[in-house]
Amino acid sequence: MLRYDQSSAECLIFTYKEGLLAPIAHDLKLRVGKFSLSVKDKAEISASFDSASLEVVCAMENGLDKPNSLSNRDCGQIQDNIIRDVLKSKRFPDIRFQSSTLSEDEGDYRIAGDITICGVTRPMQFITRRQGNRYVAEVELHQPDFRIKPFRALMGTLKVAANLRVQISVPTQD
């Protein structure tokens, strides 16, 4: 069985701004600071992500990192809002994924299974592609599907888009 965690793999989340005041706001790159992922016989994947371990990596603009554009205070406030108000981490400490099917297709892997976020389980499927010495999976999640109300401020003139992108990267085992 192959095992990965935050020391050998990476889980990033990308959020996007929208609303009237979007031009003065930031898209964000977040990192899950604590997780475990196991692959059993290239046939089954199980993963658990600590919902309270999200951390702000940086703001982004046009898909590019904008390091140092957020103060430490801003990063702390964003993290607190996500952990407390968006993911309700005290009530729902884990985000879980369990595969139901996994098949190889010309070096890529097609994976289907169930993900549970904030106590809501939904089916999902995605493709994991080899990129250099890593396998990378990207998934788009629609927050309202998990009873998550996207963050809003200033009477809705500034808000986080309902869709976000999750990217998981693990090393190949060559």
Say what the pLDDT of residue 158 is: 63
Measure the CA–CA gap between 84 and 46, rounded to whole angstroms: 25
pLDDT tens per residue across span 8-65: 999 999 998 876 655 556 889 999 999 999 988 877 899 999 999 999 999 998 888 9
What per-residue confidence (pLDDT) applies to 22?
A: 54
User: Residue 157: is its pLDDT beyond 60?
Assistant: no
Confidence band (pLDDT; 50, 70, 90) for 154? low
Strands 64-66 and 27-32: unpaired
- For 54-113, what is each residue's pLDDT tens digit? 999 999 988 889 888 888 998 998 899 899 989 999 999 999 999 999 998 888 899 999
Residues 107-131 have pLDDT tens digits of 889 999 999 999 999 999 999 999 9
* Topology (CATH) of 2-171: Lipocalin (2.40.128)
pTM: 0.90
Distance CA 59, CA 29 (A): 6
